[in-house]
Amino acid sequence: MNKVTFKIDLCKGCGLCVTACPKKIVLLDEKQINEKGYHPAFVIDMDKCIGCAFCATMCPDVVITVIKGEK
């Protein structure tokens, strides 16, 4: 299984990762606000992640890490 992690407190909630995800599993967390005052991104279903890293590539603040084949 692939694993996607976010540096939650550095995310500015721009949504570029949301639009880049081909599986549509990255969303902005409307229930959480980080220390910068933004809604951070998160993955709703890690099992559906294909490890393409489009989300990480699109992130202007480099807050996303994708690890392929993580168990």
CATH of the domain at 25: 3.30.70.3270
* Residues across the chain: 71
Task: Indicate whether 5 pLDDT > 90.
Answer: yes
Number of domains in the chain: 1
pLDDT for 3 equals: 95
Cα separation, 70 vs 8, in Å, equals 20
pLDDT for 31 equals: 96
DSSP E strand stretches across the chain: 3-6, 26-28, 41-43, 64-67
Which residue segment(s) compose the domain that 21 sits in? 3-67
Q: For the segment 20-71, what is each residue's pLDDT rounded down to a tens digit?
A: 999 999 999 999 999 999 999 999 999 999 999 999 999 999 999 999 985 5
Query: Helix, strand, or coil here: 7?
Result: coil
Q: What is the pTM of this model?
A: 0.90
